[in-house]
Amino acid sequence: MQRRTFFWLCLLAYAALIGWQAFALPDQVPAHLDVLGNATRWHGRTAHVVQALAIGAFVALVLVGAARWLPRLPPSQVNVPNVGYWMRPENHPRMISMMREDLAGVGAATFLLLTLVMSAVGAVARGRVLPGGFTVSVVGLYCVGLLAWAVWLYVGPRYRAPPA
């Protein structure tokens, strides 16, 4: 599956979850979970849904906007390995396409994270107890995975210039 398709599926899953939560959650919903998954602050369901939709819309707009803006970046603003190779007119469109795919991958991972976190908020709102360290584990895995992927993109074969 292409990363762009996966991004849109993850965004739709997030939107579907928030849509379901708008009707299924109790009137009071956790506004904040501590590292152990305990609610430390509460707010109304409507506030939760509006906030979740705003977060999702902001993330989607930033990611889609960045993907659309990439071709307009001057070469001096592009940080990619082997910049001399990728800035050649014959290679530049492929680099833009690859960067858009990578951005879609980041977006998919981010919407998966948001979906897991909002699912956890919904579970706590409905009286479930999260496993200890759930929130730290999910956010930590996201951060470590994103960092590892960024390092792989920079030193791995994806943006390596072919041998001359």
Q: Is residue 11 part of a domain?
A: yes
Which among 105, 122, 116 is positioned nearest to 138, based on CA atoms?
116
- Residues near 131 by Cβ (< 8 Å), separated by ≥ 6? 37
**Structure confidence at residue 6 (pLDDT):** 96
CA atoms within 13 Å, Cβ hemisphere of 98? 14
Q: Is residue 161 part of a domain?
A: no
Q: Is residue 134 part of a domain?
A: yes
Q: Is residue 51 part of a domain?
A: yes
Number of domains in the chain: 1
Q: Is residue 160 part of a domain?
A: no
Helix axes 92-125, 134-155, angle to 10 degrees: 170
The pTM of the full predicted model, rounded to 2 decimals, is 0.91
* Model pLDDT for residues 70-121, shown as the tens digit of each residue: 888 887 788 888 888 998 989 989 999 999 999 999 999 999 999 999 999 9
**Structure confidence at residue 82 (pLDDT):** 87
Domain that holds residue 91: 3-155
* Model pLDDT for residues 5-36, shown as the tens digit of each residue: 999 999 999 999 999 999 999 999 999 988 88
| Average pLDDT for 129-133 | 85
Q: Is residue 8 part of a domain?
A: yes
Which among 101, 105, 24, 19 is positioned nearest to 56, based on CA atoms?
19
Q: Is residue 112 part of a domain?
A: yes
Centre a 10 Å sphere on the Cβ of residue 83 and count the other Cβ atoms it contains.
14
